[in-house]
Chain A
Amino acid sequence: MEIQDSKSTLQVIPRNNEKIKKIWKTAGILLAITVAEFIMAFTMERGLLLYALFIILTIWKAKYIMMEFMHLGDEVKPLFYSIIVPLIFLVWLLIALAKEGTDIFMMRW
């Protein structure tokens, strides 16, 4: 068996600074949102408004991770929807179990 050449035969494309800048920008946004959540946890009163804001900010972060880091936005539309649409089931699970939890609370206390 011949010894394989470890030198690259692939053409190395030079860095595209525009793209790399965009990655760092997304990272900055994610970090900024996390810091904002952190500050809100200590300055705002605990309650439905704060929890709603936390969940909105979390979904916003999730959007950045999926679109920018996982490049889901660059995939073809059918693939995009086949990942996003099934998540609708989770909305139902969330409503059903939130109601279940509240009802158990009512029975216990």
Chain B
Amino acid sequence: MSAHSTAIGVSSKRGTWGGGNEPLKASYGKLMMWFFLLSDIFTFAAFLISYLSIRLSYPAYEGPLDTFIGSNEYWPVPELVFEAVPFLHGFHAPLVFVGIMTFILISSSVTMVLAVEAGHRNDRNDVVKWMLWTMVGGITFLSCQAWEWNHFIHGTDAGSIMTYINSLSREVTETVFGANLVVNEYGPPAFAQLFFFITGFHGFHVTIGVVLLFLAFYQAAVGVYDRRGHYEMIEKIGLYWHFVDLVWVFVFTLFYLI
């Protein structure tokens, strides 16, 4: 079929120039979602590469891992910072909680792709079911992140002794607990700043995603897409949701593993 060899899906009713054609054979909404995601990739990449750059500008911690203490002289070892798990106070479980969070987000991405697949089949019951599971995954992830932030901000029982310049421009030496934008007990101030900005920006995306998921879930449930004749909205929101998962994969590696 010669019409399909070009990248433009030509409308049989209106021809090439009559409007309503689909450049790149993707609908307007899907195409714009892809270009939006491309711009968002650049935003997140700028964040993550800046993280790498700032990290390289500090010395790495080189002592033995079991005697690690936080200091703003060197960059902390992530597995010794992110080692707490809810309900197990004082229990040393490096990266376990963030591993669970990653698992939850990947799972919600799987249920999303199942919802998209059900949408292709016009199967309303399956779409509603999988959208609901995706939403559960998203909300669980956000709750985990809220706990993690809370723990990061309030800190450990022991804290660390830091010498730093406080908000009144005075140099002080004191025991610091937790983290804020001026000082944190784990490492240089930039460590907590980048943690807040990058995971916060990602969490903001997840929040928007959950809102979009709810809207699509509601519309699917009341039959809006059946009347419209297609389930493309599920596909578009699916693209966004997978992107959120994609970013988390990079955040996980750069922030928690390296």
Contacts and interface: CB of A to CB of B under 8 A. Distances in A.
Given A76-B25, A94-B49, A13 B34 contact: no
Interface in A69-102: 69-70, 75-79, 82-83, 86-87, 89-90, 93-94, 97-98, 100-102
Contact of A19 (B56, B109, B117, B126): B117
A93 B46 contact: yes
Interface string A7-21: 111111111100110
A65 B249 contact: yes
* A contact residues, range: 35 or more
B41 interface: yes
Given A38-B99, A97-B52, A10 B122 contact: yes
A36 to B, nearest CB: 11
A109 B107 CA distance: 44
B78 to A, nearest CB: 9
Binding site secondary structure of chain A:
helix
Contacts, number: 151
Contacts of B54: 101
A105 B95 contact: no
B253 A77 contact: no
B79 A41 contact: yes
Interface of A: 4, 6-16, 19-20, 23-24, 27, 30-31, 34, 37-38, 41-42, 46, 51, 54-55, 57-58, 61-62, 65-66, 68-70, 75-79, 82-83, 86-87, 89-90, 93-94, 97-98, 100-102, 104-105, 108-109
30 contacts: A6-B223, A8-B124, A10-B122, A10-B229, A13-B120, A13-B122, A15-B121, A15-B123, A16-B121, A20-B117, A23-B110, A23-B114, A58-B250, A62-B246, A65-B245, A69-B113, A69-B238, A69-B245, A79-B24, A79-B31, A83-B34, A89-B42, A94-B49, A97-B49, A97-B50, A98-B49, A101-B53, A102-B56, A102-B57, A108-B57
Given A93-B49, A98-B49, 17 more contacts: A10-B229, A13-B121, A15-B123, A41-B79, A54-B258, A58-B250, A58-B253, A69-B109, A82-B24, A94-B52, A97-B49, A97-B52, A101-B52, A101-B55, A101-B56, A102-B57, A105-B58
